[in-house]
Structure 1
Amino acid sequence: MSGSETGGMERHTYDVVVVGAGGAGLRAAIAAHEAGSRTAIVCKSLLGKAHTVMAEGGIAAAMGNRWPEDNWEVHFRDTMRGGKMLNNWRMAQLHAQEAPERVQELEDWGALFDRTDDGLISQRDFGGHRYARLAHVGDRTGLEMIRTLQQRAVALGIDVFMECTVTDLMLDTSDGSRISGAFGYWRETGRFVVFEAPSVILATGGIGKSFKVTSNSWEYTGDGHALALRAGASLINMEFVQFHPTGMVWPPSVKGLLVTESVRGDGGILRNSEGKRFMFDYIPEFFRAETADTEEEADRWYDDKANNRRPPELLPRDEVARAINSEIKAGRGSPHGGIFLDIASRRTPEFIRKRLPSMYHQFKELADVDITAEPMEIGPTCHYVMGGVEVDADTELSGVEGLYAVGECSGGMHGSNRLGGNSLSDLLVFGRRAGESAASYAAGLGARPQVADADVTAAATSALAPFEGSASGTENPYTIQQDLQQTMNDLVGIIRTGPELEASLAEIDRLKERARHLLVEGHRQYNPGWHLALDLRSMLLVSECIAKAALERQESRGGHTRDDFPGPDPEWGSRNLVLRLDAGGEGVELAHQPLPAMPDDLKTYFEGS
């Protein structure tokens, strides 16, 4: 690495720059470094504070430690069916095949997993998975993953630039268009920094802060999605937003905070205000053959999966979230607008405190609820976006030379709905692949692509625009974000209609116009209003992508539910919606694209299902 400051601008030179320090970014950086590349990690927040820590339940991998019958083929089938067959089949295949090795690798690097009685890595049940296959550390698995990967990255000496936000990708257009680096700023001082690198890996996470009720942290403003669009890449599956069935609903200060699926995986059940275990009323035909329809059969499943059907509480997340939403709308909700999640009547206090320590402390400290003695009030919360940058399944390369994407900001792997636990194994499998691919590309270059001074000047001017204070500067970034969140919550939420989606697009256009008149006061140092003004560019662009794709897809599938098109449509089940920046660079245009064709040998796994 070399660092310098020329013309008042700090510059650094690397082979591979990874934007984001969650599980995907760390695993990609480790792989790139081990492949011989000079590698840097640039993260918006502090190292170790990544949103990956919120993935508490476990890492999905068909290791067969509890059920020897489990294998990659079953995991592949579960993943494809959970995504309603809209997944990129090759990504789902690679993910299922390679996840066990990636989990074992984590253990080799020092991760401390819970154990079975015979000393193997313990695996727990999760919704949509036929067998117990989530390797876990209590209900703090994401935290242990980040700790392990962070320790590995630091031990290898990988450079980390913390509290540094990337606002633009640099392109060398002298011979085609290829990545030459990234432009950003230090959040503390406001000073600009340029990273010169032929390979950039986007690992920036999701889009949840565009919604009013979300489990996502403040960093999740769709940065990677928007950076890729503006660089010339395409997005797919953006209409599919996962509303996790269980987020806290009380007190208001923590509304949306995640309640891990581990509670249901370990035996928790859902009840309405009448005390009814209502999920038996919402079993879709697609899963009826393998879902229990009596309480007795559902409860036997935990002991004998080979001969019993799974509880309806362990249906895929989209099905459970819709059922909860229906009960609340029907007036059978809890006092604070949710429903009840009950594990206290199902498991001993000792079991709960051992298996779910984070949930026990979270509810005790934040809501004064003892989950070993009383039910939790929960409701759906915006949690994950299945859509993201369109990438090659094997290399994670986008449509822009030198630009890779991995984790939640990439698309294709999860189709229309992600199964719980698949996110963490996704990060590991494709993080490694992206890092190795980016390093290989950088090593094979002759002349390195160059960062043009004019592009750096333009990026700096754009970043400083909210400070200009012209006569047109009248808008507050916090007000625009609040209005955007309300719009997305009300019109592009868990249940959608055509007229509401059209209204949302009109409102997003108005918000984009208002954003042209932003005024930020003060200086560049310690200025959160300025940070938000820059984040709004990403949030508005990505919100438009979600709403436009949701309006176009006239069916209900996975994380996309249209009240005016209530069922899945086979024609829509064979196509993706692809979004690109329009010629003017201000909005997005949409196109239809056929799904990649699955080979015949893999199709046999779905015969008769």
Structure 2
Amino acid sequence: MSEIETHSYDVIVIGAGGSGLRAAIAAREAGKKTAIISKSLFGKAHTVMAEGGCAAAMGNVNPNDNWMVHFRDTMRGGKFLNNWRMAELHAKEAPDRVWELETYGALFDRTPEGKISQRNFGGHTYPRLAHVGDRTGLEMIRTLQQKIVSLQQDDFARTGDYEANIKVYAECTVTDLIKDGERIAGALAYWRESGRHLLLEAPAIVMATGGVGKSYKVTSNSWEYTGDGHALALRAGASLINMEFLQFHPTGMVWPPSVKGILVTESVRGDGGVLTNSEGKRFMFDYIPDVFKDQYATTEEEADRWYTDADNNKRPPELLPRDEVARAINSEVQAGRGSPHGGVFLDVSSRMPAETIIKRLPSMHHQFKELADVDITKEPMEVGPTCHYVMGGIEVDPDTGQASVPGLFAAGECSGGMHGSNRLGGNSLSDLLVFGKRAGDGAAAYVDSLSARPVLDEVEVKRAQERSVAPFGDGSQDGAENPYTLHQELQQTMNDLVGIIRKEEEVRQAITKLGELKERAKNLVVEGHRQFNPGWHLALDLRNMLLVSECVANAAVLRQESRGGHTRDDYTTMDAEWRHKLLVCTADGDDGVQIVEQEQIPMRSDLMELFELDELKKYFTDAELPGGATA
């Protein structure tokens, strides 16, 4: 292995978004030599696109808020399919993680009393989202990035070396995890600029690679979101859970076509924006599910009082969980009541003065003005659902973030369980902080527990190198395939057949098509050299996207109900029996998958007692209720 650039670390963090940076900080502060692998430029992770805020029950705006209310909201949003231990840890620890971020230098908006300001968001009982205008994710990345730099400065002060204990590999992509027997031993990567390989040896790896949205034609996700962490973990022997649950954010831009899918932050609705159809009707009142009838306003007058009357607990229906709002918009469009470009209208101009909009929603004002020539202080926006977030991911231990493969950890969007069948807005940023720290701490503790470090297998390293350069050819062979053509066909397949509304026949068509694409992908050919070659990069990403898309489609056809981000046109309601079941994906041979059912672990009785008995009866059997056989 002398011809390959090689480095040794205690912990490798793959991904430089919020969860990855927080994991790296935790590992470094535990005394571990840590590497951060960033697929894009450092500081450009997709976390910067999270705009509305970070959910944490600090009670700064409404003192009635606490971790128990946050826990209840999270479980309700996920339709009780959440890993309840993760939801509990998240609700309890999120405030500390936000306050900690402030000690790192984050500059949150303030209340008149000087506390961190918190705003309303869909599915949250009280104003709970700590925010920085509508660019909270950017502030989070800026702050965590600066914390990394400060740790490097500490190293320099002690050793004269900025990268003594924490190093960032920017514009670098991991293609394979290398194991020693069953244990993680390191990773093979390549520099995107030069195409040169590098080998990183480490006994612990934290996956923090984000989501899978680039498998879809219309998505709010950035180019990095190709399911890398999901696929790498699957091939290494880990399991994925809840992959059928994809969140289609209700409000993405729909016009012009060049920006279709770009996110329109939920804080527009949190700050009073309303959804109307082509007839001018505020239609969300028609789509309040029975389980939410006692929590949401049924008239405009009652809904508007939410923003001025602290004792009014009836939230506007625009603040229903995202899955409910996305389905409602989809229904209005299908009924012929959509906007001219296939969405609906989101209006904030009639709800607050222009100067307030510019102050509270500066990014949205700029985005629509520059990209769509729409002044949101004077006219409504056109919005529609866009593939936004995957609730499914790597199955991990809630307390440590460790996967089933020794030495492999995961946090953030590429881990599964925390959000159940649907994520509440704002829970993603606090999820990154809470479980990023826990995964970093867990990885450090795992390294401390080892009696001997794992050893890299030279044969496996060579095979991984050969796989990564396999797409290079002269293009003369029969059946040579172009990666851009395959990617377009994959996106169209997932968009049309495994989208927001699913039918068994269509999903099975998608599974067949995915099988065909996988066969064709064996003949992918790219031209040119390894120096910054976008075609080669996409060819490698396609291997991951095809594998993860197969997990999504196969799980979607098996779950015969509608729950959260999974809506079946042929099974339109939630089924109590399916609330007990998780669908678990594992690798089957060379880039194949198999899916089995797994029973959900019963919730602790003290947590069940936080809910009203009548609500629990909508989800649980009598035997599971507090005082029942499994309580």
TM-score range, shorter chain: over 0.9
The number of equivalent residue pairs is: 600
Aligned partner of 1:60 in structure 2 is 55
2:484 matches 1:478: yes
Aligned partner of 2:136 in structure 1 is 141
| Partner-residue secondary structure (3-state), 1:486 | helix
Q: CA deviation at 1:307?
A: 2.7
Contact 1:473 1:519 in 2 (8 A): no
Q: Unpaired runs of 5+ in structure 1?
A: 1-5
Moved over 6 A (4+): none
Contact 1:474 1:518 in 2 (8 A): yes
One-letter identity of the residue aligned with 1:372: T
Aligned partner of 2:522 in structure 1 is 516
Residues 400-549 of structure 1 mapped to structure 2, 5 A cutoff = 400-469=405-474, 471-472=477-478, 474-549=480-555
Aligned partner of 2:172 in structure 1 is 164
Matched residues in 1 for 2:54 and 2:371: separation? 26
Aligned partner of 2:279 in structure 1 is 274
**Deviation digits for residues 15-64 of structure 1 (CA, Å, limit 9, x no counterpart):** 00000000000000000000000001001001110000111000000000
Q: CA deviation at 1:129?
A: 0.1
Q: CA deviation at 1:308?
A: 3.6
Contact 1:297 1:308 in 2 (8 A): no
Matched residues in 2 for 1:304 and 1:472: separation? 70
2:95 matches 1:87: no
Q: CA deviation at 1:305?
A: 4.3
Q: CA deviation at 1:586?
A: 2.8
Matched residues in 1 for 2:303 and 2:62: separation? 18
2:363 matches 1:368: no
Contact 2:473 2:527 in 1 (8 A): no
Q: CA deviation at 1:472?
A: 4.1
1:393 maps to which of 398, 419, 426? 398
Contact 1:241 1:387 in 2 (8 A): yes
Aligned partner of 1:77 in structure 2 is 72
2:28 maps to which of 33, 57, 61? 33
Aligned partner of 1:240 in structure 2 is 245
2:222 matches 1:217: yes
Matched residues in 2 for 1:297 and 1:594: separation? 41
| Partner-residue secondary structure (3-state), 2:468 | helix
TM-score (norm 1): 0.98
**Deviation digits for residues 479-526 of structure 1 (CA, Å, limit 9, x no counterpart):** 000000000000000000000000000000000011011111110001
Report the more deviating stretch, 461-470 or 500-509: 461-470
Contact 2:188 2:197 in 1 (8 A): yes
Residues 17-416 of structure 1 mapped to structure 2, 5 A cutoff = 17-157=12-152, 158-173=166-181, 177-416=182-421
Contact 1:298 1:308 in 2 (8 A): no
One-letter identity of the residue aligned with 2:398: A
| Partner-residue secondary structure (3-state), 1:467 | coil
Report the more deviating stretch, 446-455 or 208-217: 446-455
Contact 1:239 1:549 in 2 (8 A): yes
**Deviation digits for residues 242-299 of structure 1 (CA, Å, limit 9, x no counterpart):** 0000000011110000000000000000000110000001000111111100000000
One-letter identity of the residue aligned with 2:201: E
Q: CA deviation at 1:414?
A: 0.1
**Deviation digits for residues 297-319 of structure 1 (CA, Å, limit 9, x no counterpart):** 00001122433400000000000
Contact 1:17 1:42 in 2 (8 A): yes
Aligned partner of 2:160 in structure 1 is none
Report the more deviating stretch, 494-503 or 298-307: 298-307
| Partner-residue secondary structure (3-state), 2:26 | helix
Matched residues in 1 for 2:309 and 2:552: separation? 41
Contact 1:247 1:379 in 2 (8 A): yes
Matched residues in 1 for 2:303 and 2:52: separation? 21
Matched residues in 1 for 2:199 and 2:473: separation? 22
| Partner-residue secondary structure (3-state), 2:609 | helix
1:573 maps to which of 574, 579, 583? 579
Contact 1:9 1:194 in 2 (8 A): yes
Q: CA deviation at 1:7?
A: 2.3
| Partner-residue secondary structure (3-state), 1:571 | helix
2:595 matches 1:587: no
| Partner-residue secondary structure (3-state), 1:389 | strand
One-letter identity of the residue aligned with 1:503: Q
One-letter identity of the residue aligned with 1:508: L
| Partner-residue secondary structure (3-state), 1:160 | strand
One-letter identity of the residue aligned with 2:378: A
Matched residues in 2 for 1:289 and 1:240: separation? 26
Contact 2:276 2:344 in 1 (8 A): yes
| Partner-residue secondary structure (3-state), 1:439 | helix
| Partner-residue secondary structure (3-state), 2:576 | coil
Matched residues in 1 for 2:308 and 2:124: separation? 15
| Partner-residue secondary structure (3-state), 1:32 | helix
Report the more deviating stretch, 461-470 or 331-340: 461-470
**Deviation digits for residues 190-217 of structure 1 (CA, Å, limit 9, x no counterpart):** 0000000000000000000000000000
**Deviation digits for residues 520-554 of structure 1 (CA, Å, limit 9, x no counterpart):** 11100011000000000000000000000000000
Q: CA deviation at 1:369?
A: 0.4
Q: CA deviation at 1:447?
A: 1.2
Q: CA deviation at 1:468?
A: 3.4
Q: Unpaired runs of 5+ in structure 2?
A: 153-165, 616-631
Matched residues in 1 for 2:477 and 2:491: separation? 27
RMSD: 0.8
| Partner-residue secondary structure (3-state), 2:32 | coil
Per the alignment, do residues 85 and 550 of structure 1 end up closer, same or farther by CA in structure 2, a change over 3 Å counting? same
Matched residues in 1 for 2:260 and 2:446: separation? 44
Matched residues in 2 for 1:230 and 1:488: separation? 22
Q: CA deviation at 1:445?
A: 1.3
Contact 2:407 2:446 in 1 (8 A): yes
Matched residues in 2 for 1:27 and 1:459: separation? 29
Contact 2:235 2:591 in 1 (8 A): no
Report the more deviating stretch, 378-387 or 598-607: 598-607
Q: CA deviation at 1:329?
A: 0.7
Q: CA deviation at 1:473?
A: 5.5
Aligned partner of 2:621 in structure 1 is none
| Partner-residue secondary structure (3-state), 2:218 | coil
One-letter identity of the residue aligned with 1:113: F
Contact 1:164 1:187 in 2 (8 A): yes
Contact 1:300 1:308 in 2 (8 A): no
Matched residues in 1 for 2:173 and 2:104: separation? 29
One-letter identity of the residue aligned with 2:296: T
Aligned partner of 1:3 in structure 2 is none
One-letter identity of the residue aligned with 1:499: E
Contact 1:343 1:372 in 2 (8 A): yes
